[in-house]
Amino acid sequence: DKFEQFWAINRKLMEYPPEDSGFRYIPFRIYQATTERPFIQKLFRPITSGGQMHTLGDLLKDVCPSAIDHEDGEQKTQVMIHGIEPMLETPIQWLSEHMSYPDNFLHISIIPRPTD
């Protein structure tokens, strides 16, 4: 019921100066159906030390490599955000800006791929 107050604070969290090229950290949670941990959450910078944009694939390789690395080359999981499966090459900064929930977290689900 206090939408204007929410956006007054949220705007400060979501805006960044152009010289920063992105947020300081990307707030995210990764949920996995096949593990005992309810979620994974840690600090992750959207930009590499060399100034390159990190991607969703980079985040998963760092935090949850089993979600995308498989010996036979076949991906056995789906990475879902808001019910869609984004490309692993998508910049994590873009995902955070456009697909975060109102709590400013990027909620990522890793689901076993159905076997037919």
**DSSP state for residue 99 in the 8-state scheme:** H
Q: For domain 3-112, say whether CATH 3.40.50.720 is its number.
A: no
At 11-37, the pLDDT tens digits run 776 777 667 778 888 899 999 977 788
Pairing relation of β-strands 106-112 and 77-80? antiparallel
> For residue range 46-83, what is the model confidence (pLDDT) as tens digits?
988 888 999 999 999 999 888 776 666 567 889 999 99
- pLDDT for the residue numbered 73: 58
Which SS3 state, helix, strand or coil, does residue 94 take? helix
63 contacts 103 by C-beta, under 8 angstroms: no
DSSP H or E run through 62: helix 56-63
pTM score, whole prediction = 0.81
Q: SS3 of 28, please?
A: strand
Domain boundaries in the chain?
Answer: 3-112
